[in-house]
Amino acid sequence: MSTIVWNREGVVEDDRWATVEGESAFVSMDEALELAATGGREIGVLVEPADDPARLKPILDRLAIIALDFPAFNDGRAFSHAALLRDRLGYGGEIRGVGDVLLDQVPFMLRVGIDSVETAHEPTARRLTEMRLPGVDLHYQPAALKAEPTNTYSWRRRAAV
Amino acid sequence: MYRYDEFDRDFVSARVAQFRDQVERRLSGDISEDAFKPLRLMNGVYLQLHAYMLRVAIPYGTLSSKQMRMLAHIARKYDRGYGHFTTRQNIQYNWPKLGDIPDILEDLAGVEMHAIQTSGNCIRNVTADHFAGAAADEVADPRPYAEILRQWSSLHPEFSFLPRKFKIAVTAAENDRAAIQVHDIGLQLKKNDEGQIGFAVWIGGGQGRTPMIAKKIKDFLPEADLLSYVTAIMRVYNLHGRRDNKYKARIKILVHETGTEELAAQIEAEWAHLRDGELRLPDADVARITDYFAAPDLPARAEGWAELAAWKKADSGFASWVTQNVRPHRHPDYGMVTISLKPIGGIPGDASDAQMDAVADLAEQYSADEIRVTHEQNLVLPHVALADLEPLYRALQAEGLATANSGLVTDIIACPGLDYCALANARSIPVAQEISERFGDQARQEEIGDLKIKISGCINACGHHHVGHIGILGVEKKGAELYQITLGGSADENTSIGEIVGRGFEPEKVTDAIETIVSTYLSGRSGTDEAFIDYYRRVGAAPFKEALYGDKAEAA
């Protein structure tokens, strides 16, 4: 089973943070906090569903990338983590969705502020490679990803082109 | 009524196309049933015992004649000629083919309807008082706020994968007809001393295997803060609601385990960040949505008063129907008419395609083109002139829709039960039918008075048995169906959870047990003005236990 890393530009080859043969390059939040204190190498941190991403606040500018874990299709905590990282903590770096990432979640992930995803699910990888996303471009609520206001109601948005 | 604008139309079309693509991927094997399940559920498609089931959203239970005709058309073309109105003001079809569902959704989109979020672990169809916009006792129409919440919650990117389903109800009267205290969020519209509109906010109510009454966490939330505050509740729930056990995943458990005060404080802290942000509702937007719900033009029809009196005198059947099924409208020359979907011995909530078409015609002719679906599985024509009641009654009679039992013992709520549902342990519909037959005599029903019987075929409580004055819960014991009876439940402004009266009854003994309970009430009540629930609250369970079990009374 091969995994791909994908962002809005397309498939990312030889990504520095890609999982290789089951080996993840990300460290836990505790490890990240330690590493940041000691300085040195680039940090990619994995935020798990039960973690509180606000703990990263003091080290956000030391992070190269934040991975948000989607351990199962029905665990949606990472959607709120992304929203908090973008809207509340003002994190401007890359956020990646990892784990059980399936096609139909990807449009939602992009909207809450996730930039890239890693997936091992073959049909998902195929559709992402073809840049055929199943999302709806009209939104009834604001979200972290910049979108255009409409001339109708304050809560509506239209995907930026 | 709300009408789609271009944005809404394009959105629903895009959603239909998205679902068509998902169905195609499922049929081609690109996605497994496991992966497809949450996708189909988010669009109201269940896999039941015998077939797929499609649940169509009827936002806050409001329909036009044109929309009702489309529901009839779908029943005729894609199903077996009927549909089933649900306790969340929706309609479900029991026999559609999966491959047809995208076409059904396209037909629905043609009349500004959809099946978005009628199932799944997301924010479900927002419900409201079925007499909204017509009742004399409401502060303001609750539906504009339900519509704003419907829009905001549609395909919400952050809240589409919640720990569990999430139900919001809105009422605008002290007399709560929307059962807000058994919802995840209950909103009670009110005015403050300055005459400004706001909401009392309740959270954590629910039924299922752990019934709980909602707790009030805010006495007055200003109108402009509706979306930011609800977002704060949703975010705290999404992050902290339990995901280890689906039976403990509703917000009621989070409220219970965290403590109301502590959770309210967490919500308040989250809200502080959101309150002045993009979600603040501009007055002009609320006003524009409210305009859609402007009351229809109802001309004076004072002649109805004298006519009504004469008709009632001439026909006791009509008089009964008016007494039971017609309620005062805020316009004195009009009434709000409940069309019972509980014919004696029938299936609660079912309507045939012909009946739906007939109701559509009658709504057009007599009720300003408006129809409501109630959470008690009946329909309502909200704006009928008293002067039109007699011809309306005749027309309903011809369709088998003039049963005069609104609020009476045969106005039973029942879930689909083991006849359809994959979760059920026991049948519900045949139990409802037998009770209805037993108590079908009109004079006897009227003698008994207000009495709500609610039946669920399993502990998930879709038949709302916890809040029935008499609740019946079907369970499976040693491979056989057994029915537990609860007494004293209620889902209005004095919400209470019914208490189990004793050991359960075999299917063939349930109706006799109900008869015993009713007889106990009739012989013990202080007078005809003491309703069953009031009697129960006065005397408790003892006389019922005694009558049902005698000396052998024991806990279930």
Euclidean distance between CA atoms A43 and B33, whole angstroms = 38
Interchain proximity A136–B156, CB inside 8 Å: no
CATH code of residue B545: 3.30.413.10
**Helix or strand (DSSP H, E) at A117:** strand A116-119
How close B275 comes to chain A (CA, Å)?
A: 13
B242-250, long-range: CB within 8 Å, 24+ apart, which pairs? B242/B163, B243/A49, B243/A74, B243/A75, B243/A77, B243/B163, B246/B164, B247/B208, B247/B209, B247/B210, B248/B210, B249/B163, B249/B164, B250/B163, B250/B164, B250/B165, B250/B184, B250/B206, B250/B208
Helices and strands in chain A, H and E counts: 4, 9
- Full domain range(s) for residue B467: 413-552
Q: What is the dihedral of CA B249, B253, B255, B257, to 10 degrees?
A: -120
Q: Are residues B94 and B218 in the same domain?
A: no
Q: What is the largest CA-CA distance in chain A?
A: 51
Euclidean distance between CA atoms B457 and B477, whole angstroms = 13
Number of domains in chain B: 4
Which residues of B touch chain A, with CB atoms under 8 Å apart?
5, 7, 10-11, 14-15, 18, 21-22, 25, 30-31, 35, 38-39, 121, 148, 151-162, 227, 235, 238-239, 243, 273, 278-282, 285, 288-289
Residues 6 or more apart whose Cβ sits within 8 Å of residue B127? B60, B61, B88, B89, B146, B167, B168, B169, B170, B178, B183, B375
DSSP string, B73-117: HHHHHHSSSEEEE-TTS-EEES---GGGHHHHHHHHHTTT---TT
**Helix or strand (DSSP H, E) at A68:** strand A63-70
The per-residue pLDDT string of chain B (556 residues; one tens digit each, 9 = 90 and over) reads: 999 999 999 999 999 999 999 999 899 988 888 888 888 998 999 988 888 999 999 999 999 999 999 999 999 999 999 999 999 999 999 999 999 999 999 999 999 999 999 999 999 999 999 999 999 999 999 999 999 999 999 999 999 999 999 999 999 999 999 999 999 999 999 999 999 999 999 999 999 999 999 999 999 999 999 999 999 999 999 999 999 999 999 999 999 999 999 999 999 999 999 999 999 999 999 999 999 999 999 999 999 999 999 999 999 999 999 999 999 999 999 999 999 999 999 999 999 999 999 999 999 999 999 999 999 999 999 999 999 999 999 999 999 999 999 999 999 999 999 998 889 999 999 999 999 999 999 999 999 999 999 999 999 999 999 999 999 999 999 999 999 999 999 999 999 999 999 999 999 999 999 999 999 999 999 999 999 999 999 999 999 999 999 966 554 4
The answer to whether residue B524 sits within a structural domain is: yes
Q: B256 with B204: CB under 8 angstroms? A: yes
Residue recorded with tokens 């934040």: A66
How close B210 comes to chain A (CA, Å)?
A: 22
How close B485 comes to chain A (CA, Å)?
A: 35
Residues 6 or more apart whose Cβ sits within 8 Å of residue B284? none
Domain boundaries, chain A: 4-136
Which residues in chain A are closer than 8 Å to B230, comparing Cβ atoms? none
Q: Are residues B146 and B255 in the same domain?
A: yes
The answer to whether residue B480 sits within a structural domain is: yes
Contact A156/B at CB under 8 A: yes
Euclidean distance between CA atoms A62 and A33, whole angstroms = 10
The answer to whether residue B461 sits within a structural domain is: yes
Last residue of a domain, one of B398, B432, B461: B398
How close B195 comes to chain A (CA, Å)?
A: 24
Residue by residue, what is the 3-state secondary structure of B2-19? CCCCHHHHHHHHHHHHHH
Rg, chain A, Cα only: 16
Q: From A136, which residue of chain B is nearest by alpha-carbon distance? A: B14
The answer to whether residue B115 sits within a structural domain is: no
The per-residue pLDDT string of chain A (161 residues; one tens digit each, 9 = 90 and over) reads: 579 999 999 999 999 999 998 899 999 999 999 999 887 789 999 999 999 999 999 999 999 999 999 999 889 999 999 999 999 999 999 999 999 999 999 999 999 999 999 999 998 999 999 999 998 999 999 999 999 999 999 999 999 87
Q: In the beta sheet, which residues pair with residue A148?
A: A158
Using alpha carbons only, what angle is made at residue B434 by residues B430 and B438, rounded to the nearest 5 degrees? Answer: 170
Among the listed residues A113, A69, A93, the one whose alpha carbon sits nearest the alpha carbon of residue B158? A113
The answer to whether residue B93 sits within a structural domain is: yes
Last residue of a domain, one of B291, B314, B336: B291
Q: Are residues B148 and B284 in the same domain?
A: yes
Q: Are residues B235 and B318 in the same domain?
A: no
The answer to whether residue B347 sits within a structural domain is: yes
Q: B518 with B448: CB under 8 angstroms? A: yes
The answer to whether residue B358 sits within a structural domain is: yes
Q: Are residues B152 and B287 in the same domain?
A: yes
| CATH fold for the domain made of A4-136 | Rossmann fold (3.40.50)
By three-state DSSP, how is residue A122 classified?
helix
The answer to whether residue B104 sits within a structural domain is: yes
Euclidean distance between CA atoms B221 and B56, whole angstroms = 31
Last residue of a domain, one of B349, B367, B398: B398
**Helix or strand (DSSP H, E) at A127:** helix A122-129
What is the model's pLDDT at position B51?
86
Q: Identify residue B70 by its one-letter amino acid code.
A: M
Q: Are residues B174 and B307 in the same domain?
A: no
B101: which 2 tokens? 């569902």
Interchain proximity A153–B285, CB inside 8 Å: yes
Give Cα A66 to chain centroid, integer Å: 7
Query: What is the predicted ipTM?
Result: 0.97
Q: B146 with B170: CB under 8 angstroms? A: yes
